[in-house]
Chains A and B, each alone.
Chain A
Amino acid sequence: MVKQSLLFGSIIALLIVSMAVSLCLGRYEISMKTLMHFLEWKWFYLGDTPHNATLLENILFDIRLPRILCVVLVGAALSVSGGAFQAMFVNPLVSPGILGVLAGASFGAALGIMIAKNWFGVQLFAFTFGFVAVLVALGVAKIYGKSGSTMIMLVLGGVISSSLFSALLSVVKFMADPYDKLPTIVYWLMGSFSAVDMKILASVSMPLLLSTITLSLMGKYLNVLSLGDDDAKALGVRVTWVRNSAILLATLLSTLTVVAAGMIGWVGLIIPHIARFLVGADNRILLPMCALLGAAFLVIVDTLCRTAMSIEIPIGIATSLIGIPIFILALKNAKKGFA
């Protein structure tokens, strides 16, 4: 128990430190001392007014903070929904895209870029088609659900839905204007937080936060689901209801991440693995750990994306390139795992 609190404490510390560092770094570098001084002045009315207060306020609170908060929420959301899906399907190779939500949202976004008038329209399309894709998967599973295992049918439904929307995405790309729309779609699909501002943050933060917390707290039900449907039902758990709520929440989280930042792969697959390696498989502890770890990981990666080169690296590329070696290391050391 002590070990666990210590672990949670250190990951929380890691998250806070990486957020602070991320606030300081960027095209206009701010030293930690200046940041502290500014925050003391701003929040506690201590010390003198910094000479560049307006500039600092603008950079920190209008530009960097919304982005960092959004990164934190998206990192947590992707990891928790990945962890929840892995628990539900009792399979460590499952990622948040298992039911086709990412493919659907990507198609929706691309379609939005083609025909919608503004970014809000794009977001709306992405959100809607994320849900449509999951409904397709559930629908396919439902048709054949009577025969055979529910879980296998869900996975197959997801495969079908993912392929369908990937194909539709290709159709949109093929038809898109190669000088204007196509590059936008391609860049957008690589994922980036560069467009995030207060408005986007305000629209996605509440549902992201609430769903992440709710899903994190469903751990004990997901534990029971992992025993199998019959066992869980006999224990008095409304299996279908719990599973559908978890799918709904995980879908909501995944689509919102696409709405906020495009496609960001790997986070939802590797973070639950690393978290499981740290705290074991008990979802009551695992899911909150996923949230913290995912948030810290994505803040660090996003900071690298912003600062490593003179142009911004698409975060979807970075999460994969950085995630893969970490994943290999985690696999090597994974003993607790699914055992």
Chain B
Amino acid sequence: MSFYEAQDLFFSYQEKPILQGVNLSVEEGCIVSLLGENGTGKSTLMKLFLGLLTPEKGTIVLKNRALQSYSIKERALHVSYVPQSTQIAFAFCAFDIVIMGRIAFESWFKKASQADIQIAQSSMERLGIAHLAKRTFQTLSGGEKQLVLIARSLAQGAKILVMDEPVSGLDYGNQLRLLETILHLSKEGYTFLKSTHFPEHALMLGGYTYALKNGHVLAHGETSETITQELINELYNTDIALKQTTCGYPVCVPAFVQMKE
């Protein structure tokens, strides 16, 4: 029984191999974090999971069916994409962005139905951003933009959210609030596949972690067991120590600030 799974994926960009035999399994309701240096193929892997790219070899299975056998509309029912705060050229208001989540299910040439408008409104309410509806997207803060894009995914109705570095560009407070939102939604049954540059964020969210290096999975498993001092240092070529706080929570301490004990 595979919920959402990549089997032996190969992919390359113009002869340059990116992924070389990646296996990755996402379980329903789980948060899966992808770790790895810049350019290790995290984004590529996520695009393959979204069906935006086609693997050279290997398959992606969604609910026991090959992802490629889904129509684009069917796929949108199950999987949605939360991009890094998108560059949006036109001055759309937040609500216009959210209701775009319904586009595949609206009828051609017709205005959005009352039901679609309802769905868009309630998904904004769920994230506590209903008051932003009339604001122009460009005038929102980075954190608000991310919430609007998540609301769009909720409106789309897909229970799996694929997020490309959701916290990039956010200030510290917004980063924490966004992670809390993700945790909250996962408890409601949403599934997350997300890439991150912060091992600590993966630790905060728990779930599963896959560490990618040179197109291979270096380590994977439950986050608390997978992310070790050795893994982080190997993955990022750093010198850190993973220490337990008094309440048992692990934190990374770089060598250059480590105090002598």
Contacts and interface: CB of A to CB of B under 8 A. Distances in A.
A280 B91 contact: yes
A226 B72 contact: no
B50 A226 contact: no
A90 B81 contact: no
B255 interface: no
Interface residues of A, number: 30
B92 interface: yes
A17 B88 CA distance: 38
B230 to A, nearest CB: 35
A234 B77 CA distance: 10
A281 interface: yes
A282 interface: yes
B105 to A, nearest CB: 8
A338 B162 CA distance: 28
A236 B83 CA distance: 15
A282 B83 contact: no
Interface in A215-240: 217-218, 220-221, 223-224, 226-228, 230-231, 233-238
Interface stretch (B96-104, B200-208, B209-217): B96-104
Q: How large is the interface on B (under 10, 10 to 19, 20 to 34, 35 or more residues)?
A: 35 or more
A42 interface: no
Given A231-B86, A235-B101, A236-B103, A223 B92 contact: yes
B34 to A, nearest CB: 17
Contacts of B89: 90, 226, 338
A90 B87 CA distance: 11
A54 interface: no
Nearest to B155: A235
Contacts of B91: 280-281, 336-339
B80 interface: yes
A338 B87 CA distance: 12
B72 A236 contact: yes
A283 B92 CA distance: 10
18 contacts: A87-B90, A90-B89, A90-B90, A220-B100, A226-B90, A228-B87, A231-B83, A231-B86, A233-B51, A234-B81, A235-B104, A236-B156, A238-B72, A280-B91, A281-B92, A336-B91, A338-B90, A338-B91
Interface of B: 14, 47, 50-52, 72-73, 75-77, 79-81, 83, 86-92, 96, 100-101, 103-106, 109, 111-112, 136, 138, 152, 156, 162
